[in-house]
Amino acid sequence: MTETKILTDRIKLRLIELSDLDSIHNLHSLPETDEYNALGIPKNIGETKSIIEPWIAENQLPLIKNFTFAIENNESKEFIGILGLKLWSKKHRRGEIWYKIHSDYWRNGYATESVNLILDYGFKTLKLHRIQAGCAVDNIGSLKVLEKVGMIREGRGRQLLPLKNGWSDNYEYSILETDERKN
């Protein structure tokens, strides 16, 4: 697998590595980033390692079907968060994204910038037709990000997400290669 890096002036998306373990564990351990995430807070760093090792292994396959990127500040090299892109069958030309941003970086445009980068990569490099995302209905920050980049809310899935405070409905979003993009 060739090295995959996707850049703007401010951030870089690069495939995660085992050296990211401490940063990812810290991210997964934050109650505020866990609130709308079904993964849950890991019991220890070993649990986080067992979660990310398959992600790292997938990133190293000749034909990646599940990309997991670290979001990194270009200048400081600080870890900002993670972003995933799951590909469906080649025939469907469809992908699904997810992301988790460290709360220290919320409300600074990093999520929007990262999602725009992965949409560009998905449509221009991977030649996808459709990219979708799901979001807990109460996760206002993520709802704003998805709408800001031009994704369209398609529907509501009832009680899809097993969150720590109970089952949550999920909004389904998508954008097509032919849709108008917002930056």
Number of domains the chain contains: 1
Q: Taking residues 79-108, report their average pLDDT.
A: 94
* 1: pLDDT strictly greater than 60: no
pLDDT of 2 reads: 43
Helices (H), 18-171: 21-29, 31-34, 45-59, 110-120, 140-148
User: Is residue 73 classed as helix, strand or coil in its secondary structure?
Assistant: strand
Q: Where are the beta strands (DSSP E) in the chain?
A: 5-7, 11-15, 66-73, 79-87, 94-101, 130-136, 152-163, 166-176
- Residue 182 inside a domain? The answer is no
- Residue 112 inside a domain? The answer is yes
Q: How far apart are CA 155 and CA 167, in angstroms?
A: 17
67-71, 90-94, 100-104: segment of lowest average pLDDT: 90-94
- Residue 100 inside a domain? The answer is yes
Q: How far apart are CA 183 and CA 181, in angstroms?
A: 7
pLDDT category of residue 90 using cuts at 50, 70 and 90: confident
* 6: pLDDT strictly greater than 90: no
For the chain, what percent of residues have pLDDT higher than 70?
97
Residues 133/123, Cβ–Cβ less than 8 Å: no
List pLDDT tens digits, range 137-156.
999 999 999 999 999 999 99
- Assign residue 136 the CATH number of its domain: 3.40.630.30
Which residue range is the domain that position 42 belongs to? 5-176
- Residue 22 inside a domain? The answer is yes
20-29, 38-47, 103-112: segment of lowest average pLDDT: 38-47
**Sheet bearing 130-136, strands edge to edge:** 5-7, 11-15, 66-73, 79-87, 94-101, 130-136, 166-176, 152-163
Name the token pair of 44.
């220890």
List pLDDT tens digits, range 30-81.
999 888 888 888 999 999 999 999 999 998 888 889 999 999 999 999 999 9
- Residue 183 inside a domain? The answer is no
**Which sign, positive or negative, has the C-alpha torsion 100, 102, 103, 104?**
negative
